[in-house]
Structure 1
Amino acid sequence: MYILVEDNLNPIPNMEDIYMDFSEILERRRAINFFDPSQDVPDDLLRTVLAEAAMAPSSFNLQPWKVKILRDPTRKAALRAVAFDQPKITEAPVVLILLGDRDGWKEGTPNFEGHFQHSMKPEQRDYLVNSTKFLYGDTPDASLAFAAKNAGLFAMSFMFAACSHGLDTHPMDGFDREAVRKEFNIPDQYWIPMLIAVGHRIPDLQVHPKAWRQPLDDMILE
């Protein structure tokens, strides 16, 4: 990790070096299907990756995401049963159930009040209350979009951070959302955008080249 402060202990790094380091992460980060169940993910490492991922941007810095961390084989087996019987759910040492909080924009919620307390002035409260309600609370679709897009930003940051620490991941949306909600007692306010398997790929796994990506000129709409 680089600290962008120019002093004798922490000189500003070469920008090309940073770019190349991130390019390697982009290339190495893959959706791995085959995890080595004998290689654990230590809790302190997982917490480090989660903390780094939490640096992701979010709407009004409200950070409307939560995670359930599954390690217990019995609980992972229960998840696998409602996730199309995907073997990686029980083979990976850790599986995250990612949650997006549809109510995370509301006044009085911990993240709303935390952001206001640490980042805003008292006279800005009405602005924050009215803006978040207008943008994210007008319709159920707006609240769902708020939860899903911000959780997605966190998820991608998590996968990049995990890769930088030598971990492998696989995001999954192949699961019965309501069955997962019931099995793990997830309150209705949370949307479940994805599951993320976390661990180490099996030794000597042959990974195919990156899949096709749409041409840049096709991606850019005039």
Structure 2
Amino acid sequence: MTAAEAIQRRQSFVRFDPDRLVPDTVLARLLHLASRAHSPHHLQPWRFLVLRDRNNRNRLHRAAFHHPRLFEAPVAILVLGYHHPHQSHWEAIREQLAAAAPLSAEDLGRMNAEVRRDLAAEPDLGVWACRHAQAAATTLMIAAPELGLATAPIDRFDATLIGQTFGIPNDHTLCAVIALGYPIDDPPTPPCLPLAELCFQEHFGQPWTLGEGDDPAPPEGRSSSD
């Protein structure tokens, strides 16, 4: 399945099969893909707290105002934004980057300076971490259909109660709660607003004129069957 197909197939109104468990290998593969999301300086300021035990999922269900998807789904994933990856993990990340592509001492010095400068300029590291953790959450939801899985992001929850219940440290922000499992059925893809309602060109309010993009033409000189 291509990324475009996964995006088209992602459902907002999925129902989960509560009796079909997600194998360890499939869950690990999904989280590996989610961890490949973009982040500044490759700092990866996200952490995933995976809940599979029924008692823990019941506790989350209560803290999320009894959302029915959390009752059905065999897995719940809490996506956390970690405020200080530059303090605890930067040296290890820098070594990985250096192993992937030869870096001079000058390159390493510039990278160190950029990380210190950029993070010092952030007025709220919790907001910064959550902004990038949301990218990992979105990547997880895009990757799920390729593995036969469905996701449902939960938009109402008591973050304070969840933090207390599951021991989330103060330097982590709860950014997303995602129900995960195998879908019972394949409901139709919900419609979306036309791009003319969502997009502008060059200036806010300037009308969108580039079409809807739902059936793009093949590149010039190639047929759609190439």
TM-score class, shorter-chain normalisation, is 0.7 to 0.9
| TM-superposition CA deviations, 1:29-81 (whole Å, max 9, x none) | 12244211011111100101111222211110111111010001100010111
Judged with a 3 Å threshold, the aligned counterparts in structure 2 of structure 1 residues 221 and 76 are, in CA distance, closer, same or farther, namely: farther
Instruction: Give 2:65's aligned residue.
Output: 84
Contact 2:10 2:189 in 1 (8 A): no
The offset of 1:211, in angstroms, is 3.5
C-alpha separation in 2, matches of 1:55 and 1:85: 31
Aligned-pair CA distance for 1:139: 4.4
Residue 114 of structure 2 is aligned to residue 128 of structure 1: no
Normalised TM-score (structure 1): 0.80
Number of the residue aligned with 2:94: 116
Count of aligned pairs = 198
- Per-residue CA distance 1:72-109 (angstroms, 9 max, x = gap): 11000101111111021121011001011111233xx1
Cα displacement (A) at 1:123: 4.3
CA deviation vs aligned residue, 1:155-195 (integer Å, no higher than 9, x gap):
11111111111110011231111111111000011111111
Q: Which has the larger radius of gyration?
A: 2
Q: Kindly indicate whether the alpha-carbon contact (under 8 Å) linking 1:36 and 1:201 is maintained by their aligned counterparts in 2.
A: yes
Aligned positions of 1:184-199 closer than 5 A: 184-199=166-181
Question: In 1, are the aligned partners of 2:11 and 2:190 still within 8 Å (CA)?
Answer: no
Which of 142, 158, 162 lines up with 1:180 in the alignment?
162
Cα displacement string for residues 119-151 of structure 1 (whole angstroms, at most 9, x for unaligned residues): 24444444333322322233442x123211211
Q: Which moved more, 1:68-77 or 1:52-61?
A: 52-61
Secondary structure class of the residue paired with 2:86: coil
Structure 1: give runs of 5+ residues left out of the alignment. 1-17
Work out the percentage of aligned pairs sharing the same amino acid: 28
Q: Shift of residue 217 of structure 1?
A: 6.7
CA contact (8 A) 2:11 2:187 kept: no
CA contact (8 A) 2:43 2:86 kept: yes
| Aligned counterpart, 1:65 | 46
2:8 equivalent to 1:27: yes
Using the size of structure 2 for normalisation, the TM-score is 0.79
Deviations 1:192-219 (CA, angstroms, capped at 9, x unpaired): 111111112223x544532435527734
Indicate the RMSD between aligned Cα atoms, in angstroms: 2.1
Residue 144 and residue 219 in structure 1: after superposition, are their counterparts in 2 closer, same or farther (change >3 A)? Answer: farther
Q: Which runs of 4+ in 1 moved over 6 A?
A: none
- 2:220 — aligned with what? none
TM-aligned CA distance change 1:32 to 1:42, over 3 Å: farther
Partners of 1:104 and 1:147 within 8 A in 2: no
Q: Which runs of 5+ in 2 are unaligned?
A: 204-226
- Verify: 1:50 aligned to 2:31, yes or no: yes
Aligned to 1:5: none
| Residues 70 and 213 of structure 1, relative CA distance in 2, 3 Å threshold | farther
User: One-letter code of the match for 1:115?
Assistant: I
